[in-house]
Amino acid sequence: MACLLETPIRMSVLSEVTASSRHYVDRLFDPDPQKVLQGVRDMKNAVIGNNKQKANLIVLGAVPRLLYLLQQETSSTELKTECAVVLGSLAMGTENNVKSLLDCHIIPALLQGLLSPDLKFIEACLRCLRTIFTSPVTPEELLYTGPDHQTILFNHGAVQNIAHLLTSPSYKVRMQALKCFSVLAFENPQVSLTLVNVLVDGELLPQIFVKMLQRDKPIEMQLTSAKCLTYMCRAGAIRTDDSCIVLKTLPCLVRMCSKERLLEERVEGAETLAYLIEPDVELQRIASITDHLIAMLADYFKYPSSVSAITDIKRLDHDLKHAHELRQAAFKLYASLGANDEDIRKKIIETENMMDRIVTGLSESSVKVRLAAVRCLHSLSRSVQQLRTSFQDHAVWKPLMKVLQNAPDEILVVASSMLCNLLLEFSPSKEPILESGAVELLCGLTQSENPALRVNGIWALMNMAFQAEQKIKADILRSLSTEQLFRLLSDSDLNVLMKTLGLLRNLLSTRPHIDKIMSTHGKQIMQAVTLILEGEHSIEVKEQTLCILANIADGTTAKELIMTNDDILQKIKYYMGHSHVKLQLAAMFCISNLIWNEEEGSQERQDKLRDMGIVDILHKLSQSPDSNLCDKAKTALQQYLA
């Protein structure tokens, strides 16, 4: 019986709470404006710090009524302001509260409120908007994000209106102005180029930013100022060799990576520094020798620190929270540092347990850490020396192949790009990668909807085919299929087309291989070559295609596929007389291989080509002002005289 009584008791308690809450909502509908205002004020006091009361009022329909009062022209400014304050308080509750507010279209109403002449009302609307937009459930696209929105803010005078706030006596105001500039300048040349010339009290903005990143300023201010200068530099508004970058911004960001800084500051410092130096070799070199940065970053991997979970539980919780971010930031910065310089790569790899840390990073649960680890590895894989030593010692290819089996596209793009390096002819990893089923995996990538993955898939196959055995070439052709090969040759992405032509060129090298492949796929390959030479393609594409023809012409039996195809012969003749020297040279290689004296049937081929007028063209080209073309023509003519 006791159990049966439980439900009615709970229901009566709930109805009591709802009844008391309903009283607040009912007063919002009173015909007397003064009573409505007092009702909103009472509601404001009732919801402060009371999530249960907030939820009840939302369920009872308080939000639509508050928004109605906020937007009514007949409502007093005082009432509108109080409504905005209550809505802001409701937004500070749970994520479900924010969702309910968004469902009632609160954002357009608050944005409209910003047009009011009353500052207190504007401030209440802004506070509420800030609370809503700091919630993870609010879609970012509801407000300004991306280059288009930066431009809208810029065109409406944001720079001029915010600039004078940098000299405000209030630290909070100065900080918000700084943050606005960092967001406006990020990857935006138009805004950044304007910021460089903005004067505030007779001082240029970059000079103000430099003052704000001095050591005696608060860390938050130093970091944000460094961000502003970094973003302006990356957008091309400040030179990378400018003293404000080399002597001020870069050292400030390196300082942020030191042990003395808070973990979150170290993360932000490393990530901003990685972005600053990413495209510039000189900045990478300077950063690498500043304050022992490479060794300093090794400390990023030592969290959570080995403290007693009982004596320092708060510290452990904090470390755990930031451990992923620290590793991600360190990998990013190592990737930027090692992007170009061989000596820096060597220093990174020689840092304590570095290769083991990267390999571990490849299998982390956090996608962001995995991506950063792959990027770091990719950067280091540009070193011929490291590919032959450290990468082989740690069998890096094994975890990399695992990553490639099942990963989001952003990781696949970098991992497959790195695989291209591991498949270079001099890499010891090439053979074990081949044995682990890489051909099928890469052929699969060529069918991706993502152009970057198609490029990397075909690029890796191209590297794989370079000076490869006949068996590997046959495996590639079988796994790829001629249908897919021709789809790639008509791909809309120029990089895919160029790498596919590169693959064909590598497949069709060494005579026995050329003859073997052309005996089985000759008809389709000749058809593809014809289509490309007839199509509207760039000089580079047609040059590659003519080089493929030159390789076919170097075969023993394969060259007959050219000699019996008058259409192709006419095209070679046409390109010998082309206005572009690259195409003339490529066509000349075809002719030289066809008429070479020491090969069987050369006399018949020479006669046929003479009848076509090729000899006359060779005589003409032997007078060419281009020395390379002239020499090739003379060498070809000697074949006729021998």
CB 422 within 8 A of CB 398: no
- Residue 112: pLDDT above 80? yes
Confidence of residue 453 (pLDDT cuts 50, 70, 90): very high
Quick check: 424 pLDDT over 80? yes
pTM of the predicted model, to two decimals? 0.77
Integer Cα distance of 259 and 279 in angstroms: 27
Answer yes or no: is pLDDT of 598 > 90. no
Given this model, what pLDDT does residue 140 score? 66
User: How much is the average pLDDT of 507-512?
Assistant: 93
pLDDT in tens, 557-577: 999 999 999 999 999 999 999
**Is 308 a residue whose pLDDT tops 50?**
no
191 sits in which H/E element: helix 189-195
Rounded-to-integer distance, Cα 412 and Cα 409, Å: 5
Q: Of 145-149, 505-509, 548-552, where does mean pLDDT reach its minimum? A: 145-149
Indicate whether 16 pLDDT > 70.
no
Contact 619, 629 (CB under 8 A): no
Q: What confidence score (pLDDT) does residue 3 get? A: 37
In this prediction, residue 225 has a pLDDT band, given cuts at 50, 70 and 90, of: very high
Task: Provide mean pLDDT across the span 495-511.
Answer: 95
| Phi (first) and psi of residue 200, to 5 degrees | -125, 115
Per-residue pLDDT, 8:
36
- Say what the pLDDT of residue 18 is: 58
Query: What average pLDDT does range 196-210 have in this prediction?
Result: 94
**Is residue 4 scored above 70 in pLDDT?**
no
B/e letters for 359-376, b = 16+ CB within 10 Å, e = fewer, are bebbebeeebbbbbbbbb
Residue 153 near residue 188, CB atoms below 8 Å? no
Output 298 or 598, whichever has higher pLDDT: 298
Report pLDDT for 508: 95
Number of other CB atoms surrounding residue 483 within 10 Å:
9
Q: Which of 345-359, 419-433, 536-550, 581-595 has the lowest mean pLDDT?
A: 419-433
Q: Reduce the DSSP state of residue 576 to 3 states and report it.
A: helix
pLDDT given for residue 23 in this prediction: 86
